[in-house]
Chain A
Amino acid sequence: MELIHNLAFGFEHALTMQNLMFCAIGCVVGTLVGLLPGLGPLATISLLLPLTFSIPTTGALIMLAGIYYGAQYGDSVSAITMKIPHASSIVACIDGYQMTLNGKCGLALFTAGVSSFIGGTVAIVVLAGLAPALGQVALLFGPADYTALMLFGFVCVSFVTTGSLLDGLAMCMVGVLLGQIGTDVNSGMQRYTFNLPFLIDGIGLVSIALGCFGIAEITKNLDAHEERTPFQGKIHLMPTWPEFKRIIPSALRGSVVGSFLGILPGGGPSIAQFAAYAIDKKFSKHRDEIGKGAIEGVAGQAAADEAAARTSFIPLMSIGIPENAVMALMMGAFIIKGIQPGPNMIAGHPELFWGLVASMWVGNCFLLVLNVPLVRYWLSVFKIPYVVLFPTILFFCCVGTYSVNNSVEDVYITAAFGFMGYMFLRLGLEPAPLMLGFILGPMLEENFRRALLLSRGSFTTFVTRPISGTLLGLIALFVLWQFIVFMREQRKRQDAAAPAVQSPVPAGQD
């Protein structure tokens, strides 16, 4: 009963004229950047952060959240029609693109849209039910536990986004170190500022995000010289009743898997899709068709994708620790607005929390309309040539960074991070963990120092407290497992290399 009451309260806030408008803007912009190459949700959210300074808090966060989950919708459209995923819809390429080749493009788009809607709806119920309860658990956390939880998050994100624990962890640490630049909160001392006045407040979040994700991505696309061929075929959207019936069970399965995986640290849309696809392959009634353009292959992963995108808000809003890079950026947005996400947020700002949850469902409806009946109009976006697109994106990057502090220095910093991001890209290093490290860095230091202060300088506090002890134990097990996997591969390689002259498969995991 309380849940319904709370949701009703949320809808009161989400359905005001103003918030409806912000939600719609968020969904449209999100779909657009999902469709276009060169701007993922990460870069777009950071681009729009400066614009949100003058918008009321709830509206601003509703809009930013809309961009995030809207981009998931748009991304699957580009994956299905052209086999080009930008952010995360890698799985949609498999069966979705196959359906396009079979002339069932419209059906695939319809399936993806409806399944995403189902996934989003299920996830919102989970979010509304679970976040307040988890917030109670978070009150048990002390500084040592928070430190361990953040380290655990680093390990999970590193492994999930890069596939290599070593690379990802190193990038997290680079992020933490970059977060050290500026004034130390405890002593007031300036660290790594080289007496440059614009570094006293630290490096701007927007500069790092746009440099590493926006500029580097544009340059990568330019290097690749990819010419996209826009989709030209006819689109017949409406499914027959038997086809429609096939969507539902698969979408529900995907929603449950996605909701669950979205909550776990390091989880989120991409891993949820793969899991849902694998499960459909095992349990679906039409499992033989999967991989050859089956409805189930699209429905399950689309639902999981959308569900995970929403439940990944749970750790951020109830514990106060973002579980992936996009959520870290959302946390940045909360903090800019003067709100500390965490156990006290739901009680302290109920209109914000429930309004945001309710707006997700409103956004779901918007996106369903935008992406199913109107999808053919979106496809014309693909006709914009990249040589028009990238100067435009560059312009937005410049204006976005400039308006954070109204200073051109930030544009130089963005350019510097663009170079760094390009270096990382060419070296095969993923910048997403860096983002997480950068945003969590100051919090990690704060909790680490406080934990040591409380334990009078003894590290045993991290092991003896049950929560942090368990988390650190899990990390140790994980590292050990990774090491064993690496050693095994080495052994296999040596065995294989002995008879054959060249080893056919590279052993590196990245």
Chain B
Amino acid sequence: MNNRNLLKGIFLAAIGLAFGLGALRYPVGSLQRAGPGLFPLIVGSFLFLLAVAMIVRSRFTDRVPLQFNTKNIAIILGSLAGFAIFSELLNMIAGTIFLVFFSTLAGTKYSLVRNAIVTAVLIAIGLVFQKGLGLQLPLY
């Protein structure tokens, strides 16, 4: 089962099915007078066919094991989500502090001092964006 070529076919087939079946909830119309559902239905079905072809192809090609490192991607996504939550509830400075200190857990070496410097520089850049370029960042 752990075969990258097979899994990618299944993954894409699922996307094709989801959009294709979803399109049926909208009026499809006729070819002459297409409704909003027609085009996604066609494209979704086409993607599904391509994915089926990939699944068939995977039976003939060599297996490539799927490598998936959950730790790093989880840390990165967590730091993005944390940035968003802190920025909304508190302010963006808090979000930035969280982002730097949490995301660097994925790095090779962890240093509090270095993180503090990086955070300070980034906050300064944020201030420049806010004051100089007129971006509306809720920094504080």
Q: A189-B26, A426-B67 are in contact. Are A399 and B12 (CB under 8 A)?
A: no
Interface string of B127-139 (1 = CB under 8 A from A): 0010001111100
Q: Which residue of the partner chain, among B43, B84, B111, contacts A412 with CB atoms under 8 Å?
A: B84
Interface string of B69-109 (1 = CB under 8 A from A): 10011001101110111011000000110011001101111
Q: Indicate if the CB atoms of A418 and B54 lie closer than 8 Å.
A: no
Is A498 engaged at the interface, CB distance under 8 Å to the other chain? no
Is A508 engaged at the interface, CB distance under 8 Å to the other chain? yes
Minimal Cβ-Cβ distance residue in A for B66: A426
Is A448 engaged at the interface, CB distance under 8 Å to the other chain? yes
Point out the residues of chain B lying under 8 angstroms from A422, CB to CB: 73
Point out the residues of chain B lying under 8 angstroms from A398, CB to CB: 80, 83-84, 95, 99
Interface string of B1-18 (1 = CB under 8 A from A): 000110110011001100
Point out the residues of chain B lying under 8 angstroms from A223, CB to CB: 69, 72
Is A5 engaged at the interface, CB distance under 8 Å to the other chain? no
Q: Indicate if the CB atoms of A457 and B79 lie closer than 8 Å.
A: no
Q: A169-B50, A428-B8 are in contact. Are A419 and B73 (CB under 8 A)?
A: yes
Q: A166-B54, A177-B19, A398-B80 are in contact. Are A457 and B30 (CB under 8 A)?
A: yes
Q: Which residue of the partner chain, among B83, B96, B109, B134, contacts A411 with CB atoms under 8 Å?
A: B83
Is A366 engaged at the interface, CB distance under 8 Å to the other chain? no
Is A414 engaged at the interface, CB distance under 8 Å to the other chain? yes
Q: Indicate if the CB atoms of A391 and B103 lie closer than 8 Å.
A: yes
Q: A177-B15, A394-B99, A423-B11 are in contact. Are A508 and B32 (CB under 8 A)?
A: no
Q: Indicate if the CB atoms of B50 and A170 lie closer than 8 Å.
A: yes
Is A506 engaged at the interface, CB distance under 8 Å to the other chain? yes
Nearest Cβ on chain B to A193's Cβ, whole angstroms? 11
Minimal Cβ-Cβ distance residue in A for B67: A426
Q: Indicate if the CB atoms of B32 and A457 lie closer than 8 Å.
A: yes
Interface string of B108-138 (1 = CB under 8 A from A): 1101001100100110011001000111110
Q: A184-B36, A187-B36 are in contact. Are A391 and B104 (CB under 8 A)?
A: yes
Query: In the bound complex, what is the Cα–Cα distance between A486 and B50 (angstroms)?
Result: 15
Query: In the bound complex, what is the Cα–Cα distance between A392 and B69 (angstroms)?
Result: 22
Is A496 engaged at the interface, CB distance under 8 Å to the other chain? no
Interface string of A392-424 (1 = CB under 8 A from B): 101101110011001010011011001100110
Q: Indicate if the CB atoms of A453 and B57 lie closer than 8 Å.
A: no
Quick one: which of B37-68 are within 8 Å of A by CB? 37-40, 43-44, 46-47, 50-51, 53-54, 57, 60-62, 64, 66-68
Nearest Cβ on chain A to B128's Cβ, whole angstroms? 11
Minimal Cβ-Cβ distance residue in B for A388: B118
Quick one: which of B34, B51, B111 has the most chain A CB within 10 A?
B34
Range for the number of chain A residues in contact with chain B: 35 or more
Number of interface residues of B (CB under 8 A): 77
Point out the residues of chain A lying under 8 angstroms from B7, CB to CB: 427
Q: Indicate if the CB atoms of B118 and A392 lie closer than 8 Å.
A: yes
Q: Indicate if the CB atoms of A180 and B30 lie closer than 8 Å.
A: no
Point out the residues of chain B lying under 8 angstroms from A387, CB to CB: 104, 107-109, 111, 114
Q: Indicate if the CB atoms of B12 and A170 lie closer than 8 Å.
A: yes
Is A351 engaged at the interface, CB distance under 8 Å to the other chain? no
Report B's interface with A, CB cutoff 8 A. 4-5, 7-8, 11-12, 15-16, 19, 22-23, 26-27, 30-40, 43-44, 46-47, 50-51, 53-54, 57, 60-62, 64, 66-69, 72-73, 76-77, 79-81, 83-85, 87-88, 95-96, 99-100, 103-104, 106-109, 111, 114-115, 118, 121-122, 125-126, 129, 133-137
Please provide the 8 A-B residue pairs with the shortest distance between their CB atoms, ordered closest to farther.
A457-B32, A457-B31, A387-B107, A427-B8, A173-B47, A411-B84, A415-B80, A184-B36
Q: Could you give 10 example pairs across A and B, Cβ below 8 Å?
A: A50-B135, A169-B50, A219-B106, A391-B118, A394-B99, A399-B129, A414-B80, A426-B68, A449-B34, A456-B32
Report A's interface with B, CB cutoff 8 A. 50-51, 54, 166-167, 169-170, 173-174, 176-177, 180, 184, 186-187, 189, 191-192, 215, 218-219, 222-223, 225, 227, 386-388, 390-392, 394-395, 397-399, 402-403, 406, 408, 411-412, 414-415, 418-419, 422-423, 426-429, 445, 448-449, 452-453, 456-459, 486, 490, 493, 503, 506-508
